[in-house]
């Protein structure tokens, strides 16, 4: 008899990443676009043939749609052949990639005695802020860096606030807004 029960707990996924990981994914995406240039050129040839057929058969309502598709494909092919996306990305990303490659882990060897031999201090890093700056610079993903004004009402920006320690509330004297 099997007494194994299936867990009903929700599985959490870790979506954290690093600059190197995002860079590798983006470079593989660009490489996939470069690999697809031959199929795009074949598709362009087919579209040009269909445009000529439409002109010969006097199907004038299809001509603007086909011309738009041809223009879009031609610009994509031109961008791929000129490496515009790659150069734009690398011009923005190189400072971050160089900086992440130059970071060395601290190797402080000190004579630790007593309780200090059980405690390790690695210092502080600002990798999270560098990652957010990288995403904002290279991919235009804005980092929501909100600064909280202490003791100022969010609704009316008044500084007349009363702290109710019994109810754990902060109440604005001007507009009556309560914050927990």
Domains of the chain, by residue range, sit at: 19-102+126-139, 146-180
- Over residues 103-135, the pLDDT tens digits come to 555 445 556 677 767 777 666 667 888 888 898
Q: What angle do CA 61, 64, 66 make, to 5 degrees?
A: 100
Q: What is the pTM of this model?
A: 0.60
If residue 32 lies in a helix (H) or strand (E), which one and from where to where? helix 19-35
CA nearest to 77, candidates 29, 126, 33, 18? 33
Give phi and psi for 2, each to the nearest 5. Answer: -90, 120
More confident residue, 15 or 72: 72
The average pLDDT across 141-146 equals 72
Tens-digit pLDDT profile for residues 59-91: 888 889 999 999 999 999 999 999 999 999 999
Q: What is the pLDDT of residue 68?
A: 94
Per-residue pLDDT for 180 more than 90?
A: no
- The DSSP secondary structure of 64-101, one letter per residue, reads HHHHHHHHHHHHHHHHHHHTHHHHHHHHHHHHHHHHHH
pLDDT in the model for residue 145: 61
Residue with tokens 């734009």: 88
**pLDDT greater than 80 at residue 141:** yes
Total residues found in the chain within this entry: 180
């Amino acid at each position: 008899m099997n007494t194994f029960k299936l867990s009903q707990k929700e599985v959490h996924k870790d979506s954290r990443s690093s600059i190197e990981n995002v860079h590798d994914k983006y470079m593989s995406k660009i490489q996939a676009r470069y690999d697809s240039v031959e199929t795009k050129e074949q598709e362009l040839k087919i579209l040009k043939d269909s445009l000529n057929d439409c002109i010969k058969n006097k199907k004038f309502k299809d001509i603007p749609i086909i011309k738009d598709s041809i223009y879009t494909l031609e610009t994509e092919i031109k961008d791929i052949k000129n490496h515009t996306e790659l150069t734009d990305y690398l011009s923005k990303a190189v400072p971050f990639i160089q900086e992440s490659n130059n970071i060395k882990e601290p190797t402080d060897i000190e004579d630790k005695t007593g309780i200090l031999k059980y405690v390790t201090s690695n210092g502080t890093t600002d990798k999270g802020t560098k990652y957010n700056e990288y995403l904002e610079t290279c991919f235009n993903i804005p980092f929501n860096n909100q600064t909280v004004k202490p003791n100022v009402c969010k609704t009316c920006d008044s500084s007349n606030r009363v702290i109710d320690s019994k109810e754990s509330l902060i109440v604005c004297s001007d507009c009556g807004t309560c914050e927990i």
